[in-house]
Amino acid sequence: MTKFSPGRLFIYFILILFCAIYLMPLLVMLLTSFKTLPDIRGGNLLSLPEVWVFEAWFKAWGSACTGVTCEGVKGYFWNSFKMAIPAVFISTLIGALNGYVIAHWRFKGSNLFFALMLFGCFIPFQVILLPMAATLGKFGLANTTTGLVFVHVVYGLVFTTLFFRNFYVSVPGELVKAAKLDGAGFFTIFFKIMLPISKPIIMVCIIWQFTQIWNDFLFGVVYSGSDSQPITVALNNLVNTSTGVKEYNVDMAAAIIAALPTLFVYVVAGKYFVRGLTAGSVKG
């Protein structure tokens, strides 16, 4: 039987305490989403519902709504998927190519190129709003899902390139040189050697990019049209445009629905996240 020292028990107590504090808002949201409005007004935030009801979930999704003002988040939910999946795929693939080139195919000015990309990490979103809007207008991509994909790919390339570059630096240069001596070209080395060993950092980029894109509100509200708005914009509209009695249970259910995809990604691929971040920390 394992014995715990007082010091270790204290550490576990602190960890459990902070975990409980961190999860408290989620518990409140979940309980509230199953309560009726009278129960919400008369009960405690942490009290169990007097009657467990699912009407708020159907209304938040859009299955129990009538009229224009209550259409739920269903359509916007799929809009976010249409935006996030191609943006994550494209930015990850191009970032892998960029990181591979910077790490093992040095060219004149490559260090300056990488330094400028690092500088791009510190540019606030607000700075690029007007230039990007003008660019989307010239390309005919304004107020479209394709335009949102383009914006997230451009902004995400900085981070994916940085992740892959740091990972590929740890790959021995002799491996690439040996492949070149055997007659392998640029893309052969990339697809046959580099990508197969890049699973941890690919998962890091997928988690990072998907979370950033799915949770983004600023780009979504600025560059989307009425039929291409992501779920973050819909959630904001649902919370701020309610008429009559404030339906907190519907708001909480919609917020949980909006958070489910990112939660799923972390549960499925989270074990690769720390492994991928530390994979390029030691060379060789």
Look at residues 96, 115, 88, 111 and name the one whose alpha carbon lies nearest to residue 171. Answer: 96
Domain identity same for 231 and 119 = yes
With a pLDDT cut of 90, the percent of the chain lying above it is 21
Whether residues 187 and 127 share a domain: the answer is: yes
Claim to verify: residue 223 and residue 151 sit in the same structural domain? yes
For residue 277, pLDDT beyond 70: no
- Which stretch, 48-62, 89-103, 183-197, has highest mean pLDDT? 89-103
Q: Whole-model pTM?
A: 0.83
Scan for tokens 């935030």, then name that residue.
45
φ and ψ of 110, to 5 deg: -65, -35
Residue 100 lies in a domain: yes
Confidence (pLDDT) at 112: 84
Tell me if 59 is assigned to some domain: no
Residue 25, number of CB atoms within 10 A of its CB: 11
For residues 181 and 119, state if they share a domain.
yes
Give mean pLDDT, residues 208-221: 91
**58 lies in a domain?**
no
- With respect to residue 18, please indicate whether it lies within any of the assigned structural domains: yes
The region of weakest confidence among 70-74, 184-188, 216-220, 259-263 is 70-74
| Domain assignment present for 153 | yes
Three-state DSSP string of the chain: CCCCCHHHHHHHHHHHHHHHHHHHHHHHHHHHHCCCHHHHHHCCCCCCCCCCCCHHHHHHHCCCCCCCCCCCCHHHHHHHHHHHHHHHHHHHHHHHHHHHHHHHCCCCCHHHHHHHHHHHCCCCHHHHHHHHHHHHHHHCCCCCHHHHHHHHHHHHHHHHHHHHHHHHHCCCHHHHHHHHHCCCCHHHHHHHHHHHHCHHHHHHHHHHHHHHHHHCCHHHHHHCCCCCCCHHHHHHHHHHCCCCCCCHHHHHHHHHHHHHHHHHHHHHHCHHHHHHHHHCCCCC
Give yes or no: residues 186 and 255 share one domain. yes
Q: Are residues 26 and 135 in the same domain?
A: no
Whole-Å CA distances, 168 to 82, 102, 135, 190: 30, 9, 33, 11
Euclidean distance between CA atoms 258 and 216, whole angstroms: 12
User: What pLDDT is attached to residue 87?
Assistant: 94
The larger pLDDT score, comparing residue 284 to residue 205, is at 205
Average pLDDT in the 132-137 region?
91
Rg, the chain, Cα only: 24
Q: Which of 97, 228, 231 is nearest to 164 (CA)?
A: 97
Looking at residue 242, what is its pLDDT?
A: 57
CATH number for position 259: 1.10.3720.10
Within-domain flag for 254: yes
For residue range 68-77, list pLDDT tens digits in order: 445 678 889 9
pLDDT at 284: 44
Over 70: is that where the pLDDT of 32 sits? yes
Same domain, 222 and 251: yes
Confidence label for 276 from pLDDT (cuts 50, 70 and 90): low
d(CA 250, CA 1): 48
Question: 190 and 49 share a domain?
Answer: no
CA 172 – CA 149 distance, rounded (Å): 34
pLDDT reported for residue 256: 92
What's the rounded Cα separation, in Å, for the pair 252 and 27?
A: 11
Q: Are 107 and 186 in contact (CB under 8 A)?
A: no
pLDDT tens by residue, 84-129: 999 999 999 999 998 898 888 877 877 788 888 778 778 887 888 8
pLDDT value at position 46? 80
As for how many domains the chain has, the answer is: 2
Between 66 and 182, whose confidence is greater?
A: 182
Q: Which domain holds residue 253?
A: 74-279
- Rounded to 5 degrees, φ, ψ at 33 are -65, -20
Neighbouring CB atoms inside 10 A of 24's CB total: 12
Q: Do residues 44 and 138 share a domain? A: no
Amino acid, single-letter form, for residue 10: F
* Same domain, residue pair 21 and 105: no
252 and 198 share one domain: yes
Query: Is residue 12 located within the same domain as residue 133?
Result: no
Q: Are 34 and 53 in contact (CB under 8 A)?
A: yes
CA distance 68 to 30: 26
Assess contact for 170 and 282: CB atoms under 8 A: yes
